[in-house]
Amino acid sequence: MASLAVQCPRCRMLLSAGAINQADLIPCPACNSPLQIETFPALFRKNLPGELGAAAVMDDESTCFNHPTRQAVIPCQNCGRFLCALCDCELGGEHFCPSCLETGRTTRKIKSLENERTLFDSIALTLAIVPMITIYFTLITAPMSLYVALRNWNAPRSIVHPSRARYILAIVIASFQIVGWVSIVFFLYSLYQRRNG
């Protein structure tokens, strides 16, 4: 418990373990601010050592790709390499080797490793609505909005608003804008033909 680094949020004084998970408010020993600190049980749990894996005994046993002296327990779900218990990285019920896990993080192919996400539906909707303040910009942004919405239709959506309603709204608004511009161009062309015809 002495290694726990729980601090007062106001003065940053380290608090003793006796101040944690108390039912009543406790004053901070330094700044006298009333505190009630609730922690998860994992804060008190010690880290367990990782498994090394069993040594390969027979010559015809499957061995780990990274550790040829260790017995393979499972294949990587991405590349198929055999992994020992040490190299097995479980993520959301799937098993990966360390190199595939790193590659999946950098290339964003493993969706559960994402820590940020581009919200293309919001971009498409913004491209459709904001330029309507000055109508002339919609000549450029309406096709852009339509392209972004259709191109990224199957892209992972936000956790906050997971529906495709923003895509649909962006497509409808951008389509009306494009039809409006085509109508204006057709009207001006027919007016020009009447005057010169």
pLDDT digits (tens, 9 = 90+) for 11-28: 888 877 777 777 788 888
Q: Contacts from 130-135 at CB under 8 Å and sequence distance 24+?
A: 132/177
Give me the percent of the chain exceeding a pLDDT of 90.
12
10 Å CB burial of residue 182 (0-12, 13-18, 19+) is exposed
pLDDT in tens, 78-112: 888 888 888 888 887 888 888 888 887 777 677 66
pLDDT in tens, 24-47: 888 888 898 888 888 777 666 676
Find out whether 149 and 142 touch, Cβ atoms under 8 Å. no
Residue 80 CA to residue 85 CA, distance in Å, equals 15
| Interval 123-145 mean pLDDT | 87
Residue 179 CA to residue 93 CA, distance in Å, equals 49
pTM for the full predicted model = 0.44
User: Identity (one letter) of the amino acid at 167?
Assistant: Y
Find out whether 175 and 146 touch, Cβ atoms under 8 Å. yes
On average, the pLDDT of the chain sits at 81
> pLDDT at residue 179 above 70?
yes
Task: Return the closest-CA partner of residue 102 out of 86, 91, 92.
Answer: 91
Q: b/e string for 25-53 if b means 16 or more Cβ within 10 A? A: ebebeeeeeebeeeeeeeeeeeeeeeeeb
